[in-house]
Homo-oligomer: A and B are copies of this chain.
Amino acid sequence: MIKAEAADLPDDGRLKMPDRLRRRASRLLSHLTSRSDRLITEGLARADARKWHYAVLASLQEYGPASQAELSRRSGIYRSDMVGVLNELAGRDLVERTPDPDDRRRNVITISARGRRQLRRLDQVLDDLHEQLLAPLSRAERDQFVQLLTRLLDHHTPGS
């Protein structure tokens, strides 16, 4: 964690930003996501968590214990990154990682009672953060927004 001290682009110069630039969906997406990520990351940090923690915990809660590779597929986290995430989760006693007796290549990851409690907390935190994120939109607009995003993402996701 690093303290932000002096902003370098304080007043936004969008006053003088060409429309062709400002209106490009790709650019809007990048910038908004940048803000959104920061908001979420900082919010979760206050709860001693990271985005991946939530993804893994939610997936465990929803579909039960699984191997790391299986979790990787469920949550979209690369299995190379999963290692570190599970180290953190296990270090906080939110999950348990035990070797699978039926397949000694695998670990079985199980969510703990603490993990379930933390997940509930994170769900709350994320609700609050999304309230902030989507504040300017009405209920209907939020739904619209999520729907548009979903359709776009589906369209650009390999394997249908």
Residues of A within 8 A of B (CB): 7-14, 16-18, 20-33, 35-37, 39-40, 51, 54-55, 58-59, 61-63, 72-76, 78-80, 123, 126, 129-130, 133-137, 141-142, 144-146, 148-159
Contact B134 A152 (CB under 8 A): yes
Q: A29 is contacted by which of B29, B74, B135 (Cβ under 8 Å)?
A: B29
Shortest A127–chain B CB gap in Å is 10
Given contacts A12-B158, A13-B74, A159-B11, contact A28 B123 (CB under 8 A): no
User: In the bound complex, how far is the Cα of B73 from the Cα of A14, in angstroms?
Assistant: 8
Residues of B within 8 A of A150 (CB): 22-23, 28
Contact A76 B158 (CB under 8 A): no
Contact B157 A148 (CB under 8 A): no
Contact A33 B35 (CB under 8 A): no
Residues of B within 8 A of A21 (CB): 54-55, 58-59, 75
Residues of B within 8 A of A25 (CB): 36, 130, 133-134, 142, 145-146, 149
Contact B28 A126 (CB under 8 A): no
Q: A152 is contacted by which of B14, B20, B133, B148 (Cβ under 8 Å)?
A: B133
